[in-house]
Amino acid sequence: MMFHNVIVRKPSKTLMEGITSAPELGKPDYELAVKQHDAYIAALKKCGVEVTELEPLEEFPDSCFVEDAAVVTRKCAIITNPGAASRNKEPEYIVDTIRKFYADDQIEYIKAPGTLEGGDVMMVGDHFYVGRSARTNEEGIRQFIEILEKYGLTGSEVTLKEVLHLKTGVNYLENNTFLVSGEFVDKDEFKDAKKIVIPEDEAYAANCIWVNGTVIVPEGYPKVAAAVKSAGYKVITTDTSEYRKIDGGLSCLSLRF
């Protein structure tokens, strides 16, 4: 499928207070994060999509990671219910924008006690893999798959042991080709996939995004960029160093549909 639209949200000045599992990387530099976000948008536009840029939400330091607030499919949009307490209200601020692209009867909601974050959802055609994580629970997955099936789509659960979100360690390109790292290299769910195995020292770069035949790769991971090029893809690199400091990557920064 081709992507036509992308939604992003500008980083807030409170970005440095975002959730992190890697405090040793230091606090994000806000000015640099803004420049990197602008470059990210430029990279997306080179892939032939229209970009809708939302204003920052200062009360939500992680809100630039707009992917976690909704899951957009070719038939419906699903507003999530993030498992991180500090992010739980973020989806309320995405609904009006989603309504510009989907009718009200195509917009669904994950409801408490279910939790689900978009970073745990990987779309492979009309099938959606859902990671069961600290942020996405069993009830959230149950609701999500029930919604998918209402629209003739399918979903399945993937258990996670080592990573924050599913797409931290596995990402789909196209034609049954996946980028895999760590625990996903030998996962049964992907045993029949064409795998581009990410070396451990560049594991962060497993989080690349395919956009209309081009793969956007985080800057500074030459082995991954070379492997993706060798698989026949055009590659654009863009720096996400400041977002890595608060557990974010390329896919986290946009909704693509």
Residue 141 φ then ψ, to 5° = -65, -40
Segment 160-189 mean pLDDT: 96
Per-residue pLDDT at 193:
97
Percent of the chain predicted with pLDDT > 90: 99
pLDDT greater than 90 at residue 1: no
Looking at the domain assignment, is residue 208 inside a domain?
no
Average pLDDT over every residue of 193-212: 98
Say how far apart CA 73 and CA 91 lie, in whole Å. 16
Residue owning tokens 């995004």: 209
Letter string b/e over residues 190-221, b meaning 16 or more CB atoms within 10 A of that residue's CB: beebebbebeeebbbbbbbbbbbebbbbbbeb
Structure confidence at residue 104 (pLDDT): 98
Q: For the residues 150-173, what does the mean pLDDT come to? A: 96
SS3 category, 34: helix
pLDDT, tens digit (0-9, with 9 covering 90-100), for 204-235: 999 999 999 999 999 999 999 999 999 999 99
Cis, bond preceding 11 (omega within 30 deg of 0): no
Q: Supply the CATH number for residue 84's domain.
A: 3.75.10.10
Q: Does residue 75 lie within any of the structural domains?
A: yes
Q: What digits encode the pLDDT tens for the residues 14-55?
A: 999 999 999 999 999 999 999 999 999 999 999 999 999 999
**Of the candidate ranges 27-31, 112-116, 161-165, the one whose mean pLDDT is the lowest:** 161-165
Tell me the residue range of the domain where 106 lies. 5-162+240-256
pLDDT for res 19: 96
Please indicate, yes or no, if residue 235 is contained in any of the structural domains.
no
Q: How many helices (H) and strands (E) does the chain have?
A: 6, 15
- Does residue 112 fall inside a structural domain? yes
What local confidence, expressed as pLDDT, does residue 23 receive? 95
The model's pTM is 0.97
Average pLDDT over residues 44-69: 98
Does residue 47 lie in a domain region? yes
Grouping H, G, I as helix, E, B as strand and the rest as coil, residue 98 is helix
Average pLDDT, the chain: 97
pLDDT at 246 over 90: yes
130 lies in some domain: yes
% of residues, the chain, pLDDT over 70: 100
Does residue 173 lie in a domain region?
Answer: no
Positions annotated as catalytic residues are 165, 252
Residue owning tokens 């430029």: 42
First and final C-alpha spacing in the chain:
9
Provide the number of structural domains found in the chain: 1
The span from the CA of 203 to the CA of 157, in Å, is 22
**Per the domain annotation, does 64 fall within a domain?**
yes
